[in-house]
């Protein structure tokens, strides 16, 4: 995207991205089928597992970015405020809509084991330097950006799913690709060092992949499809096939450890094109950069 590409060579305290807060126009009051992802048990269990992590994770990202903004000098805060407000608004809408989706899939007997584990770990973060929270957020945002680019490149993995659910995952992916630089640049603006950036990515990788695997297996076990041969064939194809998630994401994930890495290096126009081509599926949440004292902006009201 042009806004991401424009960041290259610029000071880390000069954010360039205009982040539009969008409301997705889909109905999640209607039931979601048990195997909603094209009738495939493994893919459904995997996407469900990811969704179970989003509400608590995205609230942590919101809190971390807000905490980082709060410790910047006043002049720097003014430069960052609009982008942070957009980031908060986008993540808050993701949190809300995935909470609705999660309520639907729990009707199939699924249990969110990921969230309590995540909350227990996040409790350990209280009182730490806010740069730690930003480094963790930036690492997780790298994972979600990799997933987003992969899914926008291969939307056929959602083929034969309901249109509203395809829109849900591809809209989320488009916005994740759009704001993938925010936490990374804010971390650097606060003087975050490279050693901790890489160290937190190693930790986040182990935790994120471990939790994804545990929740996916738990979903399959409760669904009664864990030991079906078709489930494992689907898993091998989805993760390691020619267009598989892990196969295509390894090199971009590894790029994080280069000393000259910046998320803008993975920029493409897929997010921008998808949002333009599907403009009828969403509407912008109108923002004002300032509001009277005691009055919340739309982003802040959503995130509260």
Integer angstrom CA distances of residue 220 from 36, 105, 145, 253: 14, 13, 26, 27
Confidence of residue 291 (pLDDT cuts 50, 70, 90): very low
As given in the structure block, the two tokens for residue 13 are 């305290």
Which DSSP string do the residues of 79-128 spell out, in sequence order? Answer: HHHHHHHHHHHHHHHHHHHHHHHHHHHGGGT----HHHHHHHHHHTTTTS
pLDDT of residue 297: 46
pLDDT of residue 18: 85
More confident residue, 5 or 30: 30
Burial-class residue 100 by CB neighbours within 10 Å (0-12, 13-18, 19+): middle
pTM score, whole prediction: 0.90
Mean pLDDT taken over the chain:
90
Residue 294 within a domain: yes
Confidence of residue 257 (pLDDT cuts 50, 70, 90): very high
The total domain count for the chain is: 1
Confidence of residue 264 (pLDDT cuts 50, 70, 90): very high
Q: How far apart are the C-alpha atoms of 7 and 203, rounded to whole Å? A: 27
> 26 pLDDT exceeds 60?
yes
pLDDT of residue 56: 97
Return the closest-CA partner of residue 182 out of 92, 94, 80, 284: 80
* CB-CB contact of 194 with 259 (8 Å): yes
> 289 pLDDT exceeds 50?
no
> 244 pLDDT exceeds 80?
yes
Residue 21 within a domain: no
Alpha carbon 158 to its chain centroid, in Å, reads 18
Residue 27 within a domain: no
Using DSSP's 3-state secondary structure scheme, residue 24 falls into strand
Q: How far apart are the C-alpha atoms of 206 and 210, rounded to whole Å? A: 6
Residue 168 within a domain: yes
Confidence of residue 178 (pLDDT cuts 50, 70, 90): very high
pLDDT of residue 17: 66
* Average pLDDT of the segment spanning 247-271: 96
Q: Which domain holds residue 138?
A: 36-303
Q: How far apart are the C-alpha atoms of 137 and 133, rounded to whole Å? A: 6
Residue 15 within a domain: no
């Amino acid at each position: 995207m042009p806004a991401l590409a424009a960041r290259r060579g610029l000071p880390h305290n000069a954010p360039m991205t205009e982040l539009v807060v969008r409301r997705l126009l889909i109905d999640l009051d209607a039931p979601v089928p048990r195997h909603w992802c094209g009738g495939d048990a493994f893919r459904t269990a995997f996407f469900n597992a990811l969704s179970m992590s989003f509400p608590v994770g995205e609230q942590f990202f919101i809190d971390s970015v807000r905490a980082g903004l709060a410790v910047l000098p006043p002049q720097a805060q003014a430069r960052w405020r609009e982008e942070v407000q957009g980031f908060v608004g986008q993540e808050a809408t993701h949190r809300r809509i995935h909470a609705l989706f999660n309520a639907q899939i729990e009707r199939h007997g699924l249990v969110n084991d990921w969230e309590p584990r995540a909350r227990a770990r996040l409790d350990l973060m209280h009182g730490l330097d806010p740069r730690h929270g930003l480094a963790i957020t930036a690492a997780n945002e790298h994972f979600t950006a990799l997933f987003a680019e992969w899914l926008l490149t291969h939307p056929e993995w959602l083929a034969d799913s309901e249109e509203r659910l395809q829109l849900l995952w591809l809209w989320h992916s488009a916005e994740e690709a759009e704001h993938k630089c925010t936490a990374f640049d804010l971390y650097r603006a606060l003087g975050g060092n490279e050693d901790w950036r890489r160290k937190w990515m190693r930790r986040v990788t182990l935790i994120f992949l471990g939790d994804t695997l545990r929740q996916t297996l738990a979903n399959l076990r409760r669904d009664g499809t864990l030991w079906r041969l078709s489930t494992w064939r689907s898993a091998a194809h989805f993760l390691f096939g020619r267009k598989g998630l892990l196969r295509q994401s390894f090199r971009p994930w590894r790029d994080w450890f280069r000393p000259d890495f910046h998320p803008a290096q993975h920029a493409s126009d897929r997010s921008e094109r998808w949002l333009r081509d599907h403009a009828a599926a969403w509407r912008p949440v109108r923002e004002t950069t300032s509001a009277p004292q005691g009055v919340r902006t739309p982003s802040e009201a959503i995130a509260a």
